[in-house]
Amino acid sequence: MASSNQGTTDKNTNLPISKVKFLMKSAPNPGAISNEALLIATHSAEMFLEKIITEVYEKSDKSKSKKITYQDLARSINENEVYEFLGDIAPLKVNAIEAKEIYARSQETPEQTD
């Protein structure tokens, strides 16, 4: 007899399979998702999170705090080409003065030379 938890948890996963399935179903035209594909996607997500968090922790300034901050994560994402696809999700925080300077530089047009 099947367990009532089947499809929502797995003894070998840490992420809830039901949440991964929800994310997969949110993609445009996902079609049917087999249990095997769902399990592979769940394990892949866990491995990805473990890798990025380990890298961020190793690069973080542990002298200030033993916890990973948003700034640690954003810096690691923006410095590593592998995580470039996450850049819009986790941009580096800047203060108002820095934002104003960045905006001013983006509005400058190079002088035309003929």
Q: What is the pLDDT of residues 37-69, one digit of tens each?
A: 999 999 999 999 999 999 888 887 766 777 888
Q: Looking up tokens 């190079």, which residue turns up?
A: 110
Q: What is the pLDDT of residues 72-103, one digit of tens each?
A: 889 888 888 999 899 888 888 888 898 888 88
- CB distance 39 to 21 below 8 Å: no
Q: How far apart are CA 3 and CA 45, in angstroms?
A: 24
What does pTM read for this prediction? Answer: 0.66
